[in-house]
A and B are shown apart, each in its own frame.
Chain A
């Protein structure tokens, strides 16, 4: 057995409670928006949330995937939502997030009323959005809010098609394609809400988004450190703020504060896992109802998951640095670019998002393999754990190819089947048994 006496100092994150508060406030703001004359809208976490920000300071989104992940985390409620969706005739092999979300609407139930009954006691049923603002990041997203609109008796719905990539192919025509739709979208927002659009708010939101997403990438870079200052289970609770509202000042400011704390931890060798002896990364969303598997690896083997392409790059904005390694993308602010008008703001926003790493692998699994191998090398990993996630066609596409590519690059790979949002498709006992086998194959002994 390996030594269990703590190898590295460790301590909880100082800004953890602040992160939790930001998340709670986000959902409260959405739920209670109408009480103060505000607007609420719904859309995917990939949507261009900087754009509705131009409608005013009292505009509150709910992003679909994080909400659905919260549903999945509450297994008792999730099964009710999933079964409601199935009873309504929707196939069980559809996106698990989508099924949880639809079920929540079908049952007219807001999941946070269960987890935080006092905070949400004024909320009756699922708070209906005033409009839907979406983009076609995957097939499921394309249909998701069409169904939501129908289920809710017809909600105005605007969707931007974003099939313009991959990054190496991006040109002005592709950016024009997105920007043209964005301009149309703003006109539509004015009609639907009756509000005059404020370009200054848009510019501020775009700059916040660039700042937030670049800073998140910077935070992830500190996990190159041995020991890693963060572990992935906690990272999920931190990166989610960017999936909720990446263009908000609150999130951008918080990430800078978090960055400073993580930098301090990396500099002083403060570990997330005090007996770190093995480093891995994962892929795709985790099985949200079973995040304990991360603690299983940490506590039994001192195995830390330093993150994943998903955790790093769903929110993070990355680029290749001068030394050839991956690092945070330079923001317009850092490049001293001033955004003065709506069109420039939209162009910056479109290109910033089109170049995001997590947007690339929809075009080819080889692009994803390259990025994952880069992470495995630069973050000095022992192996890779791939979640063959039945709940997400978008992020699982090509994952078997990724496995082959990562193995060919010399990294051992462990696969486990599951579902990010449907607990019926994850076998905790069998998965942990296979984790044991993987650790044995890596020569990692259990901690004493």
Chain B
């Protein structure tokens, strides 16, 4: 039985092709300005990666902020549900899922089946999502993928006073002019975003195992800041940006088993 999960994220579209619980293929495409074209591209790429055709897919479940946009999906689930489901698939003892994407950060408490017990989402705040690191990378004139590793070379803690991404960018510029090493600034940036995320997730509480997913989980500087801030072990699956898409594909498989299609 082959199912598909499509995560229509704000920045990237992720697709997982799942066969009997195993990932058979995947693809990621930037959403860009024409999401419809990007969706077709991503889905086509995933099918090709899995070496299957559209006709082979028994059920498609969409998730993500743009899930209603996937008009060929059989149904959709919220990103909260798919994130929890996907996280528990990788870590059966997962109780807290922290999902940080381009525009949203989420904290989710779930049970051993991935059922959501409580959740919190950052409210209209870029300082708790990937957009913050992108803006800061631009301010430091670095590529996004350079920002995280650079922070690990920091030798001095520099406090970041600004709570807001807009003011933080201004503060970064001031720090650069004050000849603060970029590595220290980068660490401060990651500590700031981790602080926001940890504060938000505290609303639902932290219980082991804590699983970090979403695109920002690939940022080593952010992961280090989260571990510093929590002083706890954090589990990160391979390809953390695909976990919600996987969760959606698993939900699709459940539907097929239950006779939904």
CB atoms of B124 and A441 under 8 A apart = no
B121–A441 contact, CB under 8 A?
Answer: no
Give the contact stretch, choosing among A7-15, A22-30, A364-372, A431-439.
Answer: A431-439
A184 near B: Cβ within 8 Å? no
Q: Are B78 and A433 in contact (CB under 8 A)?
A: yes
**Contact, CB under 8 Å: B118 / A437:** no
Q: Is A187 an interface residue (CB 8 A)?
A: no
Nearest CB in chain A to that of B251: its residue: A440
Q: Which residue of the partner chain, among A415, A417, A437, contacts B78 with CB atoms under 8 Å?
A: A437
| B81 A437 Cβ-Cβ under 8 A | yes
CB <8 Å contact, B123 and A441: no
Q: Is the CB of B119 within 8 A of A437?
A: yes
Q: What is the distance, in angstroms, from B256's C-beta to the closest C-beta of chain A?
A: 15
Asked if A200 is an interface residue, CB under 8 A from chain B, the answer is no
A 226-269 to B, binary, CB cutoff 8 A, 1 in contact else 0:
00000000000000000000000000000000000000000000
Contact A440 B116 (CB under 8 A): yes
Kindly report which residue of chain B lies nearest to residue A446, judged by CB atoms: B75
| Contact pattern, A 285-323, Cβ under 8 Å of B = 1, otherwise 0 | 000000000000000000000000000000000000000
Q: Is A113 an interface residue (CB 8 A)?
A: no
- A418-440 residues at the B interface, CB under 8 angstroms: 427, 430, 433-434, 436-437, 440
Assess whether A412 is interfacial by the CB under 8 Å rule: yes
> Min CB distance, A409 to chain B, in Å?
14
Mark interface residues in B97-127 (1 if CB within 8 Å of A CB, else 0).
Answer: 0000000000000000001111111011000
B80 within 8 A of partner (CB): yes
Q: Does B65 contact A (CB under 8 A)?
A: yes
CB distance from A423 to the nearest CB of B (A): 13
User: How does the 8 Å CB contact mask read for B108-151 relative to A, with 1 for contact and 0 for none?
Assistant: 00000001111111011000000000000000000000000000
A440 touches B80 (CB 8 A): yes
Bound: A437/B116 CA distance, A: 9
Interchain CB contact under 8 A, B79 and A437: yes
Given A427-B124, A433-B65, answer yes or no on A441-B77 (Cβ-Cβ < 8 Å).
no
A400 nearest in chain B by CB position: B203
Interface size on B, residues (CB 8 A): 15
A407 within 8 A of partner (CB): yes
CA distance A436 to B68 in the complex (A): 12
CB distance from B180 to the nearest CB of A (A): 33
Interface mask (B185-209 → A, CB under 8 Å = 1, otherwise 0): 0000000000000000000000000
Closest to A436 in B: B78
CA distance A9 to B196 in the complex (A): 48
Report which residue of A413, A430, A433, A437 has the largest number of chain B beta carbons within 10 angstroms of its beta carbon. Answer: A437
**CA–CA, A352 to B243, complex, Å?**
57
Question: In chain A, residues 396-421, which have Cβ atoms closer than 8 Å to a Cβ of chain B?
Answer: 407, 412-413, 415, 417
What is the CB-to-nearest-CB distance from A7 to chain B, in angstroms, rounded to a whole number?
22
* Chain A residues within an 8 Å CB radius of B78: 433-434, 436-437, 440
Contact B81 A417 (CB under 8 A): no
Is the beta-carbon distance between A412 and B79 smaller than 8 angstroms? no
Residues of B within 8 A of A417 (CB): 123-124
User: What are the residues of chain A within 8 A of B65 when measuring CB–CB?
Assistant: 433
A412 touches B80 (CB 8 A): no
Q: Which residues from A are CB-within-8-Å of B118?
A: 407, 412-413, 441
Residues of A within 8 A of B121 (CB): 430, 434
**Docked complex Cα distance between A2 and B39 (Å):** 29
Q: Which of A407, A412, A417, A434 has the largest number of chain B CB atoms within 10 A?
A: A434
| Given known A407-B118, A412-B118, contact A437–B80 (CB-CB < 8 A) | yes
The answer on a CB contact under 8 Å between A441 and B79 is: no
Chain B: CB-nearest residue to A434? B121
- Chain A's closest residue to B77 (CB) is A440
- Cβ proximity bits B68-90 to A, threshold 8 Å, 1 near / 0 not: 00000000011111000000000
Nearest CB in chain A: distance from B183 CB, A: 35
Question: Complex formed: what's the CA distance from A434 to B123 in Å?
Answer: 11
Interface residues of A in 180-228 (CB under 8 A from B): none
Hey, which chain B residues are within 8 Å of A415, CB to CB?
A: 120
Taken together as a complex, chains A and B put the C-alpha atoms of A422 and B117 apart, in Å, by: 31
Q: Give the chain B neighbours of A427 by CB distance below 8 A.
A: 123-124
Distance A153 CA – B77 CA, assembled complex (angstroms):
57
Residues of A within 8 A of B79 (CB): 433, 437
Q: What B residues does A437 contact at CB under 8 A?
A: 78-81, 116, 119
B31 to chain A, nearest CB (A): 16
List B contacts of A436 (CB < 8 A).
78
| CB nearest neighbor in B for A388 | B123
Q: CB within 8 A of A440: which of B81, B123, B124? A: B81
Complex CA distance for A288 and B120, rounded to whole angstroms: 23
B residues in contact with A433, CB < 8 Å: 65, 78-79
Chain A residue nearest to B78 (CB atoms) is: A437
For B79, B116, B119, B123, which residue has the most chain A Cβ atoms within 10 angstroms?
A: B123
Within the complex, the shortest CB–CB distance from A443 to chain B, in Å, comes to 8
Q: Which residues of the other chain, A, contact B116 by a CB distance below 8 angstroms?
A: 437, 440-441
In the assembly, what is the distance between CA of A433 and CA of B79, in Å? 9
In residues 153-201 of chain B, which contact A (Cβ within 8 Å)? none
Chain B contact residues, CB within 8 Å of chain A: 65, 77-81, 115-121, 123-124
> Can you sample 5 A-B contacts with CB below 8 Å?
A415-B120, A417-B124, A433-B78, A434-B78, A441-B119
Beyond A430-B123, A433-B65, A441-B119, 7 additional contacts (C-beta under 8 Å) are: A412-B117, A415-B120, A427-B123, A436-B78, A437-B78, A437-B79, A441-B115
The 3 A-B residue pairs with the shortest CB-CB distance in the complex, in nearest-first order: A437-B78, A437-B80, A441-B116
